[in-house]
Amino acid sequence: MKTTKLAAIAIAVIMTTPLAYAQTTPPPEPTLYRGENAPLPPKPRGEIMQAVRAKASTTRQNIQEKVQATREKVQDKKTELRNAFDVKKVAILKNASQRVIARNEAAILRLEKIALRIDSRITKMQANGINTTKAKENLTLARTKIADAKAKLALAKTEMANIETWAKNASTTPNTMGESHQKIKDQVKALNEVLKAAHKALVDTIKELKGAEGKATKKATTTVETE
């Protein structure tokens, strides 16, 4: 009887042991097989937003870099065109200045030659006893104007020699080219006015000489007839 009770207890222990183990140890999670094209589980919202912001920042930076590069290319092209224009403009101004100088030098030389011939004529007329006082005054005025023209031409030539310097300073002082060009135009205008005055004085001198000769001839004729 005692043996039977022990056997029953042993059987009960054996029967209850697996149940107790199952209750205390959780079963392992099932492993799911994912194929190559199987979708990944969704990322957390915060991680998604961070990725979106990072991409937007990179895109914005790329756009800014492209815009800056385009601006630099445009600026370089503008600088290139401006430099080419300045070189062409300087060449045009230099050629024009050389023509102005040559033309006015020739004009001054012609007036000087005319003044010399008139001076020689005055000397001969004085030797013949003809009054040339007024003619000599006009000739003196003409020579004064010619000297003034020479001085003004020298100033203009000095200014014209600085044309390339204007162009170099134009990048830092934009009004340099325009102001200097206008200054030369004003100097040439003043020079032309002086040359016109010198020419007029010479013309007046010649008129005076002709008038003096006419009076002398008339006087001589009258004297002969009277005698």
Query: DSSP readout, 108-168?
Result: HHHHHHHHHHHHHHHHHHHHTT---HHHHHHHHHHHHHHHHHHHHHHHHHHHHTTHHHHHH
- How many independent structural domains does the chain possess? 1
In a domain, 171, yes or no: yes
Phi, psi of 40 (to 5 degrees): -80, 160
Domain assignment present for residue 46? The answer is no
The string of pLDDT tens digits covering residues 23-56 is 455 555 555 445 555 555 566 666 777 777 777 6
| Least confidently predicted of 1-15, 34-48, 121-135 | 1-15
pTM of the model: 0.58
The average pLDDT across 185-192 equals: 89
Tell whether 31 is covered by a domain. Answer: no
Enclosing domain of residue 146: 95-218
Candidate ranges 61-70, 113-122, 183-192; pick with highest mean pLDDT: 113-122
CATH code: domain of residue 110: 1.20.120
Q: 121 near 114, Cβ under 8 Å?
A: no
Is 37 strand, coil or helix? coil
Please choose, from the candidates 156, 176, 157, 160, the residue with its C-alpha nearest in 3D space to the C-alpha of residue 168: 176
Which band of pLDDT confidence, cut at 50, 70 and 90, is reported for residue 19?
very low
